[in-house]
Structure 1
């Protein structure tokens, strides 16, 4: 089972949601939340579990993902 760590804005700060446990951690900046998420994903991978980090911007849009330590940029889809 893949571990997923979600970074998103929350009440003037940022949060990291750990999908496996439902735990939520709070941070002052998105960078802090993303660094912690990546560290937790690396720890999961060291235990043999695949992991992803999903990163949202201040508008709540998914803008990128770290998948098995490779960054994937999400492309915005324009409405027709």
Structure 2
């Protein structure tokens, strides 16, 4: 599964993808930094709902939530 749209009521709606899908979508993003950022998102009160880990190998990321995280991360660095 690369990209899909889920039709679930609540916060789990919109476009979801796996790590490979995000790496293809964001030029220059590599798996190492993505893993660090996903861990940061998972541990964040504001962004944990955008990362779903049903197993230790399987992860889905909400694309819109990931963009919000990137914007927040940039603002924290003064960009």
Structure with the largest fraction of helix: 2
The question of a shared fold, defined as TM-score above 0.5 by the shorter chain, is answered with: no
Q: TM-score, normalised by structure 1?
A: 0.33
Q: TM-score, normalised by structure 2?
A: 0.33
